[in-house]
Structure 1
């Protein structure tokens, strides 16, 4: 009995004070903007200036939980509008309000399910169109477009501006499935022994209940939980513990011939590129040196590199890449010295990075981690875990 009663107690909220204030201020700003804009638009068209009450519930979703699938643009615009249309239809054909109102809410939910625009305030809008009084009844189907659709559209644009201005992405972007680094049909390396997408899909089908979180966000949360579990099992092994510190680096203006000689001399596959202050500007690898469009893709490695460095007679010298800056990728992934090695796993396993520069707070190069360093760290962590288990057993 006590456990059953405990279910009625409010669950703790994970939102920080700043997040709560952002939601409150956003709802205030959004409703003020919507009221003023709709009053001006309705006044210019000779319509009564109306701000419908259920819009307050929409504001809670759009500004307090904008990542919710129920708060996305199609949900608010489609959900509110179709609910109003259903409500007007029920009010027109059913004279008894106590029958028309519940039926309108039920049919509105069914319509929102069908159109994939489930939005909880839509149920309130369906009731409003039936029980709103003579003014709403007289407006008929026009009520669904002004003020309902108009209010929803303006509030959605207000949420779009406010959320993005406060560095909170809206609409909430669904994460695309990561591409395999080798463009094959294999599962991502981290999925082969861990959580797979089909496992999550099976669990959701078994749950058979609408969750107020997108599938992509749920998968991301599970992966983050796995990462925390890994850190708990293997201890605090950071990038600073495993990185190579005596790093061979080049400048953007370093000639390709010199960069290639450094790769061969030190038997490495990539070189960090740093500016005059030692800040990481990029990475250049032997594979990057092979991507020149002037090279024959069927030449051997030795021939292609010789052509790249010394130039092809049939290609003008001005078109040939001669410097590191001309062939290095435009972006580079870096990690901080205190980054846990667990965070390197998706970078190197799923994204196919072979080397990751380690930087300080000013983005100055401090070291570099190769795939072999990560393998050694994982092996070391496994041995530590096994040793701890043996000690506990003893």
Structure 2
């Protein structure tokens, strides 16, 4: 196989990398990547090998951002448990994060609701039966970090640049297989 600039550009685009990202990962200048892709330079074999190594590594890596659900269904601390049950039923979910503004303050799980069935659920607010908050991972983290977290927690929140942007549950991880 002959590796051309067009081929390198095609691989880079398939992996969702910019020239700048590929340059950083392969320790080659962005300008040199651009020249290689346009066929303006004849790169050394070692340069091509570095680029192809990065591309092959990128092909195998799946990040948390790739499997997260971006539309997070959440509630506020003053949401009634009765309303939370309705949201969970209509959305087909068994756990829900509780946010006060942009801050996660806890979670509500089906098991928590079941343990509180003896109370008057239409009068109780989420803040009175909160479970621990879900752990937070970065969107760039590899999915390999998830199984141990999901063994303990029913869901993991995903942050990008310090803000919660997604959620991953056990079923999301199972869909990868």
Q: TM-score, normalised by structure 2?
A: 0.60
RMSD (Å), alpha carbons: 2.3
Aligned partners of 2:164 and 2:100: how far apart in 1?
10
| Inter-partner Cα distance in structure 1 for 2:59 and 2:121 | 45
8 A contact 1:281–1:332 mirrored in 2? no
In the other structure, the counterpart of 2:18 is: none
- Structure ID, larger Rg: 1
Unaligned runs of 5+ in 2: 1-56
- Aligned pairs for 1:1-394 within 5 A: 235-276=60-101, 278-292=102-116, 295=118, 307-310=119-122, 322-349=124-151, 351=152, 353-362=153-162, 364-377=163-176, 379=177
Structure of higher RCO (CA pairs closer than 8 Å, 6+ residues apart):
2
**Once the 2 structures are TM-superposed, how far is the Cα of residue 309 of structure 1 from its aligned partner?**
1.5
Task: Give, in whole Å, the separation in 1 of the partners of 2:65 and 2:103.
Answer: 17
Where is the strand percentage greater, Structure 1 or Structure 2?
Answer: 2
Give SS of 1:250's match.
coil
Deviation at 1:331? 4.1
Once the two structures are TM-superposed, the CA of residue 360 in structure 1 deviates from its matched residue by 2.8
Distance 1:328 1:272 in 2: 9
Alpha-carbon offset, residue 346 of structure 1:
0.9
Helix, strand or coil: the match of 2:97? strand
SS of the equivalent of 2:171 reads: helix
CA drift of 1:332 comes to 3.1
| 2:41 paired residue number | none
CA offset at residue 233 of structure 1? 11
Equivalent-residue separation in structure 2 for 1:310 and 1:243 (angstroms)? 32
Report the alpha carbon displacement of residue 239 of structure 1 after superposing the two structures with TM: 0.9
Residue 271 of structure 1, CA deviation: 1.0
Contact kept, 8 Å, 1:271 with 1:285, in 2: the verdict is yes
In 2: Cα distance, 1:252 partner to 1:266 partner: 19
Q: Please identify which structure carries the higher helix content.
A: 1
Q: How many residues align?
A: 121
